[in-house]
């Protein structure tokens, strides 16, 4: 048997052995290596459909891995400095939910920032745990949520010593990092688990000039979006566990919601991408850091825009900054981030990650080239020249402190009624309202609806943000608790 080293890719190797065996498929999927669906084969390619296969002995089984998937997960754990790693084929949403469902049960409390991804609050709907929010500080100029202050986490622990876990974003969508090591030390001293939503922090494990990773900071679990900065296929992620977490129980939790038909396209992409990062990660992310530094300098030279970076660090709410993030403040040119986002896509054929009411995020990875950065910079300069306007009528982005009336599960499953959105002030929401991306709720189930929240929703909708989470997709009505 070959030694397990980081230059191996066990799932890939097993798929190659399967192809050489020339098996006759009397199993699912029904396209039978693409023969049954020529149009799909022509679009995706025969090589893709050849390995879109079902679990079998030589390929192992994601629900109960005993061979090649087990080996691939062991290599992932080693690469990411974890005691155990799980391949997730439902995206980081499924990893975050498995993490939360492992840590808390019905009625338990979990301390978390209010700017969590919807997946974390959805997990609370599933398990019935109660959120204790550490309301993030806001940068009043940029209008972005910052990290969790250690003293505010300490205060939440003092007020809720019976909480079971603390969840931390590492980093936020914009690149802001909390003092994760201090939060871990504090939580562990009070017997609480630390969970990290590391959807945007895959690269932290592979370069010395980036913020500390969750596993290196001593967190108990971390959800990793390999498909974002790690290069794997969309919807493929990892769930990492530290030595103090019972991996067998975590696996049981994962199997409650994860598919029994794990995609070998996604699993092989995790395996190949892990190998690539383990062998070449530092070189890869050095190039990304150089690209973003160049882009930041060129964008700031345009005037009006502000591409921010490590100068924001204050050692507290902004303990560190992910310098691979090309986050751009657009309000000085009189345009919301979502308006610049739309112009880039519609007029310049440039697709950025997202825009909010004050910022734009351009996601830069190893797949980008200097000429791509130059095209983006040129387009931003032209937008400033041709579309800028006074910012007097722009809504100032501020954090809206939610009033939590009841837990998300109680509100979501409560008897509810739809009301015209303009008549909902004072009522308790039984559903989400959020801009996607990034998928951080403006309003979550169990929170009181206020005039301030309604003003923000109307403004975001008017500026072109994609509003999601509601049963009424037009957002003319909102479901509230009766």
DSSP per-residue codes, 112-165: EETT--HHHHHHHHHH--EEEEEPPPEETTTTEE----HHHHHHHHHH-TT--E
What band does 393 get if pLDDT is binned at 50, 70 and 90? low
Lowest mean pLDDT segment, chosen from 216-220, 351-355, 393-397: 393-397
Note the pTM of the prediction, 2 decimals. Answer: 0.94
SS3 316: coil
Which residues neighbour 203 within 8 Å (Cβ) at sequence distance 6 or greater?
A: 210, 229, 230, 281, 285, 288, 324
Mind listing the pLDDT tens digit for each residue in 49-72? 999 999 999 999 999 999 999 999
Report phi then psi at 144, rounded to 5: -120, 150
Query: What number is the average pLDDT over the span 422-449?
Result: 88
Q: Residue 402's pLDDT is what?
A: 83
Q: Residue 384's pLDDT is what?
A: 98
**At residue 125, does pLDDT exceed 90?**
yes
Show the domains of the chain with their CATH numbers.
10-278 (3.40.640.10), 282-387 (3.90.1150.10), 408-481 (3.90.100.10)
Say how far apart CA 374 and CA 264 lie, in whole Å: 37
Contact (CB, 8 A) for 461 and 475: yes
Sign of CA dihedral 188, 191, 192, 194: positive
Q: Residue 398's pLDDT is what?
A: 57
Query: What does pLDDT average to over the chain?
Result: 94
């Amino acid at each position: 048997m070959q030694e397990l080293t980081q230059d191996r890719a066990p799932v890939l190797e097993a798929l190659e052995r399967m192809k050489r065996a020339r098996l006759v498929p009397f199993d699912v999927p029904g396209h039978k290596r693409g023969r049954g669906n020529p149009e799909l084969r022509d679009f995706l390619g025969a090589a893709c459909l050849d390995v879109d296969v079902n679990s079998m002995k030589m390929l192992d089984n994601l629900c109960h891995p005993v061979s090649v998937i087990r080996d691939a997960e062991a290599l992932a754990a080693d690469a990411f400095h974890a005691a155990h790693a799980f391949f997730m084929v439902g995206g980081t949403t499924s990893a975050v939910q498995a993490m939360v469902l492992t840590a808390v049960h019905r009625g338990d409390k979990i301390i978390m920032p209010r700017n969590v991804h919807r997946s974390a609050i959805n997990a609370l709907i599933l398990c019935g745990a109660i959120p204790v929010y550490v309301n993030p500080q806001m940068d009043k100029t940029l209008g972005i949520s910052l990290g969790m202050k250690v003293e505010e986490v300490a205060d939440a622990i003092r007020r809720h010593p019976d909480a079971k876990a603390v969840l931390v974003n590492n980093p936020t969508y914009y690149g802001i990092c909390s003092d994760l090591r201090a939060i871990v030390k504090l939580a562990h001293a009070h017997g609480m688990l630390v969970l990290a939503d590391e959807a945007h922090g895959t690269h932290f494990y592979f370069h010395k000039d980036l913020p500390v990773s969750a596993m290196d900071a001593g967190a108990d679990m971390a959800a990793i979006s390999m498909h974002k900065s790690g290069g794997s296929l969309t919807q493929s992620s990892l769930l990492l566990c530290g030595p103090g977490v019972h991996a067998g129980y975590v696996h049981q939790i994962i199997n409650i919601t994860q598919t029994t038909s794990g995609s070998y396209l996604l699993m092989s992409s995790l395996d190949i991408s892990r190998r690539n990062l383990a062998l070449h990660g530092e070189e890869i992310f050095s190039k990304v850091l150089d690209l973003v530094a160049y882009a930041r300098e060129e964008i700031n030279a345009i005037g009006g825009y502000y591409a921010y970076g490590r100068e924001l660090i204050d050692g507290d709410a902004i303990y560190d900054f992910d310098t691979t993030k090309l986050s751009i403040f657009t309000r000085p040119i009189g345009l919301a981030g979502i308006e610049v986002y739309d112009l880039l896509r519609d007029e310049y054929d440039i697709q950025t990650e997202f825009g909010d009411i004050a910022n734009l995020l351009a996601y830069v990875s190893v797949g980008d080239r200097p000429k791509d950065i130059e095209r983006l910079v040129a387009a931003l300069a032209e937008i400033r020249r041709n579309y800028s306007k006074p910012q007097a009528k722009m809504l100032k982005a501020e954090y809206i402190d939610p009033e939590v009336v009841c837990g998300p599960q109680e509100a979501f499953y409560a008897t509810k009624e739809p009301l015209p959105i303009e008549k909902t002030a004072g009522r308790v929401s039984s559903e989400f309202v959020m801009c996607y991306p990034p998928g951080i709720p403006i309003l979550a189930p169990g929170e009181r609806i206020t005039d301030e929240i309604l003003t923000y929703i109307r403004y975001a909708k008017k500026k072109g943000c994609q509003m999601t989470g509601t049963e009424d997709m037009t957002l003319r009505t909102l479901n509230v608790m009766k």
